[in-house]
Structure 1
């Protein structure tokens, strides 16, 4: 007995026309059925895109190259400084920044960033504020007394080579915003917070005391080499 392939005939509708097959019904689905499917695909692509950097050697597949097209650096101004940079402190802080939205779960709206910020703060003594009345020298020029202003702190400066994000958790809406934004994953807020914590830590440290001690040693060594036998440095209000 010989078997033959039998192709099923399209079903006939009551009006005599051909009924659509299941495939034709899918392709002709209304837009309100296709929209959720499109959103699911978009979410999956966004999720995959955020994890491509975890796959070793994935970027090398496309042969990406980095080109520096930066223009020449322009010198805008020069400012004379009269401060003695006497000390510098290195700090590190772990910032845990979380942003929540009312009435929405974290999976939709919200973010949490764990960031390690490393930076430094300098301490200086402003010698430009010292006038003649702040320096007393005896007739023999063997003793000198100097009254200087207290040491101050510079603004905290983050080191990009030692600062990095440990983890980032973002809701769906935040991911979509980063996708269409010119600056995805904006870290300005967490950088500012890290710098503020480092600045506060510098205020609580002994950095200014170390700066005054180093300034005193520097001036005593300088004036001693000029013939002074006794040099006293007092810190307070100069003027």
Structure 2
């Protein structure tokens, strides 16, 4: 019995070690920047360049990940020589196996649980810092993830014309968004405002968009009006959105 018990213990330890190794496998040059548990023991994970510490992540966020913003001259020189790798998001099984991963195109990213109600599954906001060193038309871009069946499932929405497009929420000098109060049916909605020149005369037009989850899919309603809006102004009142 002692031999049998020892064998079971050894096998258990070997299985645990195998799972730990699977969970610990990170691509070369990356570190685990964030982990967020979701359903059934699965985990959403953000990977960033191994040189980006949590403090450096905070310092670079919104600055375009420009080495010129760094106080550490040695690190700045190293990044100039070898640019930061693109951040990745990946979905891990309870065993630690990577079910799906995506490169995000920029070095900085974050993920959080989305406070959206009335959806068939939990949703998550994946935000990629797309800020350029200069200008007011770039900034963090957020997409809605609804992981299921081992897939990350980037959210699409339907336009009034019936087309399906990827849902991206911009936060720039001339665009902002927020989670709106649920509609009369108790289902989630997201409001976004943005302003841009209407044509060569540089007269501005402001667009108000509402994304609603209806009939099993996200639907877009939008309207435009002449005028200028930027993030120095208050976020528009709910009545401004269609």
What TM bracket, shorter-length normalisation? under 0.3
Normalization by structure 1: what TM-score? 0.24
Higher helix share: 1
What TM-score results when the alignment is normalised by the length of structure 2?
0.24
Structure exhibiting the larger radius of gyration computed from Cα positions: 1
Q: Which has the higher contact order (CA 8 A, sep 6+)?
A: 1
